[in-house]
Amino acid sequence: MRPLRIALALALVACASACATSGTQTGPAATPGRCGDAPAFAAGGERATLWARNSSEYRAATEGIFAGARAALAAGLADPAWTAEPSQTGDLSALPPAVIMDIDETVLDNAEPQAEMLLNGTCFEEFPAVWDAWVAKRSAPAVPGAAGFIRAARSMQDPSGRPVRVFFITNRECAPRAGSTAACPQQDDTAANLVALGLDSPTLADDLMLRGERPDWESEKRARRQAVAAGYRIVLNVGDDLADFLPGVRRATVADRDAARCAREAWWGHRWFMVPNPMYGSWLVALGDDLEAALAAGPAVIGDCPRR
């Protein structure tokens, strides 16, 4: 059978931090072969998208994760030495508390446009424009449990009475848009989407940290985490991709990624909380461009992490 080459498309998705488009019409756009010899951008993602859109299991999983994150945040706030950022060491008691969250598939749910992309047979080169059109709609719903967690986090305080500030580190990219004079229209769109979900705050514009907003804010998120860490004790980190937590894993091998996961085994479910996203991510990029070969090869992840 012809190898499935969707991992190349997902490399673009990992940079954009979303795999979604606009448009709901089927018909000519969904005709096989409209993308030439290449598969459609989201080819193969039907079951994952249906699971995220329609299963009670997905809602139970995400709501359970955010409930656990809320309990962990309360415990972390009580301990002034607690941090969810490996670069932070020493006495952190002088720093106010913060939570870091990814946006897409962590706070905002893009399964609906992902389904539209599958129906429309979106091609590789069409993705940037249709993704930006979706962002501009400002209509993504919240991932189940995310909005409640954010509101709860903002209502909490550390032992010194300092409230938790929630920062959103997203790979939504600042980019020019025809008809807009805004320096970063994607930031305005994302903020408006969060406000529509009842997640406004006086500092929201500064809490959103987009890719390309500053010269060193690339798809690797470490620089943005460290920018937050310079002024805040990062108590919790919530994301849907290993690269939301760890540097250098976005294009690493499956085995190296899993070794990196094991190196912080004690942090998962305590300081770091992973929201399930079977639709896209750097995990799929790591499998390479022949997914049939990856499927036949079997798992390459570690069963139990080595005991230290």
Question: pTM score, two decimals?
Answer: 0.90
pLDDT computed for residue 29 by the predictor? 39
Compute the chain's Rg from CA coordinates.
Answer: 19
What are the residue boundaries of the structural domains of the chain, listed by start? 6-297
Residues of the chain short of pLDDT 50, as ranges, are 1-31
pLDDT of residue 39: 83
Place of tokens 């305080």: 157
Q: Other CB atoms closer than 10 Å to residue 123's CB: what's the count?
A: 17
Measure CA 97 to chain center: 21
pLDDT at res. 61: 98
Q: Are 105 and 142 a contacting pair, CB within 8 Å?
A: no
Q: What's the CA gap between 268 and 42, in Å, rounded?
A: 29
- Identify the CATH number of the domain defined by range 6-297: 3.40.50.1000
Please name which of 11, 16, 3 lies closest in space to residue 286, comparing C-alpha atoms: 11
CA atoms of 112 and 143, how far apart (whole Å) = 12
3-class SS of residue 4: coil
pLDDT for 4-34, tens place per residue?
444 434 434 443 444 333 333 333 334 456 8
**Predicted confidence (pLDDT) per residue in 189-229, tens digit:** 999 999 999 999 999 999 999 999 999 999 999 999 999 99
Confidence at residue 20, expressed as pLDDT on a 0 to 100 scale = 37
Q: What is the pLDDT of residue 32?
A: 53
Q: CB-hemisphere CA count at 13 Å for 235?
A: 28
Which tokens sit at 102?
Answer: 């990814």
- Between CA 279 and CA 254 the distance in angstroms is 17
